[in-house]
Amino acid sequence: MIQDIAPYQFQNEYRPKPPAKEDYLLCYNGNRALVRQQDGMIAFPTFGEAEAGVDADRLYGDYTYLFAVDGVRYYLGSGLDMDFLAGDGEAAADGSRYVWEDRQIFRNAGPKHLCFAGVTGWQLHRWYESRRYCGCCGTPLKKDQKERMLYCPKCRQMEYPKICPAVIIAVTHGNRLLMSQYAGREYKKYALLAGFTEIGETVEETVAREVMEEVGLKVKNITYYKSQPWSFSDTLLMGFFCELDGEEDVTLDEEELALAQWFEREEIPAEPDDVSLTNEMMMVFKEGRDRER
């Protein structure tokens, strides 16, 4: 999955240090990220490259530390005008230049550890951008030096990164799997049922509620599979397998889903990828590996 970057190690301990020339700047503009791409492989600008167009005192003095991968540190480039690197910027030895690419590039490009860093940085970028002022008194928030937290110097309100718990649900019925397609979204491929955990419920209760709300079915034997951070939507996904309990006729919530359909194991329209928990769970059932659990 997207977070499986071995042999590289993701180090998300909050240990801010002044950046060095070889450290990376992650720069975002809406849903776009500044990357250099060659033959499907991406690269991010370094502080050394940014020196050519950004005041050094601002570049190195007012930094926002994000995380490290194998000791190489990543920082947020928000507020820095990095357009000088794109278009007319100096090309790399391979002829590639920095361009603003849609964040979806992180699902398809390589190397994997840079894609994971890029989308994780985008999640933190959106949090910092949406948490500039205290929600209680309106005072500008400040960065804490000991943990990844923003605080209000006036009323002491604290803000932590936004993480939304959600479930991915593989509903099975003998040799069949229930698959769905979202309504009103750009993503048109088949998926599994999914939903966010609400206040006051366990994740197992979320599974039962979401299945009932979206397709009108009861389930039993709810079994946890594994989890995945999904920075594209600020989500911590938790995957569950469960079995149909009762009638199999679907009552579709047409506001959420375009369709929901039972597929025989051998006919499941999915092919392996190494990105999403949803795909892995579909392939686990398609290949019969759920029987080994």
- Return the C-alpha torsion angle 113, 114, 116, 121, nearest 10: 140
Question: Among 39-48, 84-93, 253-262, which is the least confidently predicted range?
Answer: 84-93
d(CA 267, CA 13): 44
Angle at 262 between CA 261 and CA 263, to 5 degrees: 115
For 228, phi then psi, to 5°, come to -155, 130
d(CA 22, CA 72): 8
Which tokens belong to 202?
A: 């366990």
The DSSP code for 210 is: H
Band (6; pLDDT cuts 50, 70, 90): very high
Please report the pLDDT score of residue 272 as a whole number.
Answer: 87
Band (187; pLDDT cuts 50, 70, 90): low
Please report the pLDDT score of residue 88 as a whole number.
Answer: 53
Mean pLDDT value across residues 154-182: 96
- Written as one letter, the residue type at 229 is P
Closest CA to 143 of 125, 158, 163: 158
| pLDDT of residue 163 exceeding 90 | yes
d(CA 275, CA 249): 31
Band (289; pLDDT cuts 50, 70, 90): confident
Mean pLDDT value across residues 171-197: 90
Q: Provide the mean pLDDT of the chain.
A: 92
Please report the pLDDT score of residue 27 as a whole number.
Answer: 95
Mean pLDDT value across residues 181-200: 88
Please report the pLDDT score of residue 34 as a whole number.
Answer: 95
d(CA 53, CA 59): 10
Greater pLDDT, 80 or 174:
174
Whole-model pTM?
0.90
The single residue listed with the structure tokens 């947020």 is: 76
pLDDT in tens, 66-123: 999 999 999 999 888 888 887 655 555 555 689 999 999 999 999 999 999 999 999 9
Please report the pLDDT score of residue 95 as a whole number.
Answer: 54
CB-CB contact of 87 with 124 (8 Å): no
Whether a cis peptide bond, with omega within 30° of 0, leads into 18 is: no
Q: What percent of the chain has a predicted confidence (pLDDT) above 70?
A: 95
d(CA 169, CA 166): 10
- Written as one letter, the residue type at 280 is E
| pLDDT of residue 284 exceeding 80 | yes
Mean pLDDT value across residues 117-136: 96
